[in-house]
Amino acid sequence: MLYFSAMVLAPKSFFWAPLLLPFAVGNSVVASGVYLAADLAAGGPVALSKFKLGPLPLTGPLIGAATAVTVPLAYPASWAIVYQGQESSGQLMDPELYSLIYNMCYNSFMFPCLLTTGVGAGFIIHIVLQPLVLGVAGIPWTRLTGAVLAAASAGLVALYSTSTRSDVMHLRDVDVDDPAYQGWLFPTRAPCFIQGEAELCWAFGLDYDTGQVVSERHQPQRQSDGSYTLRIDADVRQPGPASVVEAMNLGKKAQDSRVRCYTSRRGAYFDCITEDPMSRDEIKQLLKAIPSAQTALTDALVLSIAGDVPRERLQESLKELLPHLLQTSLVGRFTSWNPYAKSRAHGEGSLQGLLADLRLRAAQLRELRRLQKQGAAMGPVQAEELEVELRAAGIDLERANSALDRLTWKPGADREADWRTIVGQPRQMKTWERAAVGAGVALASFAVVSVGYSYLS
């Protein structure tokens, strides 16, 4: 009942409580530390209470002034404690943040304001707390200090428990087709959140021991030009493709004009007050950096040449991934091996095209390893050309080389067979492409002749 009454009588206090909580934590920790140091130096609270300037107490104002001028430097730590997460922890060691605090709080205007506020607050708190700390003759402490402490604790718990409120939706729970978000003149946008940018940064992979499909999370780092670089989070890996599929769906949904997506629950709750939502350009740059297909293709290449996984198991995993891979920018490679594969983009034709592509990349990677790791004499293709072709095909060479080094794998002796594959398979592809072009021209010519004959008839 007390909680409900407070929500009705002072709704703004409860609304701003999550934002005020880290400041309250910082103030209380610093003030407690200053008071404890003063108490130990003076020899107890009774001795502290005797420091006066005439009838005016000095202890409270001095503690308040010391707290006010030092606590701004503690706010980054209190934010990191209250709102645990990668962003808050990173700000804790950010020298630019402390420089900003220094410039804002310790200038000729703000420093006197801090000092005056601290002295005034300390004086008032001294008057209020002195009878509670020293006690009042004839009144047991449990009836005075204990009662005040219990009431204050209950009030603080009721107020700051709102910092854990959950009345904002996660992006996955937003129904963008809700009629409330369909206006065209002044459209309503749903404030929602994701658990950090990393929730969108999942990529496919293959387990080197079993060949099963796995989902790997990557940690994004935004660059000064607005682009992103990703670092794999080795400790976060899920079996199956579900995490990647959900991240892809969330990425598409985050770009919808009917939502405002934030990277924290706190940001979505305050909605443009404490932080800005992710812009569509920012989301596009982030999604562009995710190696959704490259990691899986690289793992498949490694397993095809060095793993102990049966070929049938590898093909089953690739068949499971193929519908998702075909949604990436690498789709053209899977459907262009022959003129008939495009009409069967989600069927066996594309899988065979992918397997044929992997055979070519395997020969290229083996030859590249011979040239770079074993110092072999140069063959028909230079190492630089092999690197360019492998990267253009979506192969992450750093990931592949690292995996092959861990597997202590070395290329086989049949180097000439790899040369034939490297030189011959692209020629075969060009022959297929020419045949496809020729068939297209013939069909077009036949259509023109048929139309002309029908017109003349």
pLDDT of residue 337: 41
- CB neighbours (10 Å) of residue 81? 15
Reported as a single tens digit per residue, the pLDDT across 82-122 is: 766 545 555 667 788 888 888 988 999 999 999 999 999 99
For residue 214, pLDDT over 90 is answered with yes
Strands 52-53, 56-57: pairing is antiparallel
For residue 363, pLDDT over 50 is answered with yes
Q: CB within 8 A of 344, min separation 6: which ones?
A: 350
For residue 186, pLDDT over 50 is answered with yes
What is the Cα–Cα distance from 131 to 423, expressed in whole angstroms? Answer: 92
Reported as a single tens digit per residue, the pLDDT across 321-350 is: 888 877 766 655 544 444 333 433 444 557
Task: For residue 78, name the pLDDT band (cuts at 50, 70, 90).
Answer: confident
Reported as a single tens digit per residue, the pLDDT across 283-299 is: 999 998 888 788 989 99
Whole-model pTM over 0.85: no
Task: For residue 431, name the pLDDT band (cuts at 50, 70, 90).
Answer: very low
Residue 114 to residues 16, 120, 121, 448, Cα–Cα distance (Å): 22, 10, 10, 86
For residue 10, pLDDT over 90 is answered with no
CB 78 within 8 A of CB 72: no
What is the Cα–Cα distance from 351 to 323, expressed in whole angstroms? Answer: 10
Residue closest to 15 by CA, chosen among 165, 154, 151: 165
